[in-house]
């Protein structure tokens, strides 16, 4: 009986909040009015980069969720991710998952590529970032040559995704250059 009251209370609160939020005015430019610029954020976070990056990541998730289920306007998503990865360049989901959100939902493929290249420069020892960059080129730009290049780069890392070389070869075949795909394949095995 107690659970029934809890469920009923949750349903009532949901509809009350839904009604209240529908009457709020749109925020537009004021949405990120108090969100810091990149240089200021890195200056303020000195010594507490991980903590600040976590706060910015939570803001990013809130921002994405709010717009994903309403207007699908992600105009500030790249800015948030850029600030996040400036504060803590080792926050890998900021690059990888952020690039997925930028390229898939926000349709900002160039910003996704820019974010991933920034991540590759800041974390040259990680294979995950060029791997995701290969997928962004494969799925969204349809530039199979660039996709193959990044998959091949991923395959060169020790302990990387074991089928990255297969993906590189597949991209070359898809680009109508099977001889290069065979060379990539044979150089790795």
What is the SS3 assignment for the chain? CHHHHHHHHHHHHHHHHHHHHHCCCCCHHHHHCCCCCHHHHHHHCCCCHHHHHHHHHHHHHHHHHHHHCCCCCCCCHHHHHHHHHHHCCCCHHHHHHHHHHHHHHCCCHHHHHHHHHHHHHHCCCCCHHHHHHHHHHHHHHCCHHHHHHHHHHHHHCCCCCCCHHHHHHHHHHHCCCHHHHHHHHHHHC
* Range 67-87 average pLDDT: 88
Per-residue pLDDT at 30 exceeds 70? no
Q: What is the pLDDT of residue 161?
A: 85
* Range 30-35 average pLDDT: 58
pLDDT tens, 123-143? Answer: 999 999 999 999 999 999 999
What's the whole-number average pLDDT of the chain? 80
Confidence of residue 24 (pLDDT cuts 50, 70, 90): very low
Per-residue pLDDT at 18 exceeds 70? no
């Amino acid at each position: 009986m107690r659970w029934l009251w809890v469920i009923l209370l949750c349903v009532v609160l949901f509809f009350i909040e839904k009604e209240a939020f529908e009457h709020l005015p749109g925020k537009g430019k004021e949405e990120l009015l108090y969100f810091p610029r990149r240089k200021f954020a890195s200056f303020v976070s000195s010594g507490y980069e991980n903590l600040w990056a976590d706060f910015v990541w939570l803001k990013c998730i809130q921002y994405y969720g709010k717009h994903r289920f309403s207007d699908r306007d992600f105009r500030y998503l790249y800015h948030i991710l850029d600030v996040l990865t400036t504060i803590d360049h080792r926050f890998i989901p900021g690059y990888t998952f952020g690039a997925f959100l930028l390229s898939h939902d926000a349709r900002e493929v160039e910003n996704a590529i820019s974010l991933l290249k920034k991540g590759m420069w800041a974390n040259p020892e990680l294979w995950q970032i060029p791997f995701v960059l290969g997928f962004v080129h494969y799925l969204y730009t349809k530039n199979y040559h660039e996709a193959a290049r990044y998959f091949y780069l991923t395959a060169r890392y020790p302990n990387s995704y074991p089928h990255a070389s297969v993906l590189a070869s597949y991209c070359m075949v898809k680009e109508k250059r099977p001889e290069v795909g065979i060379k990539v394949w044979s150089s790795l095995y």
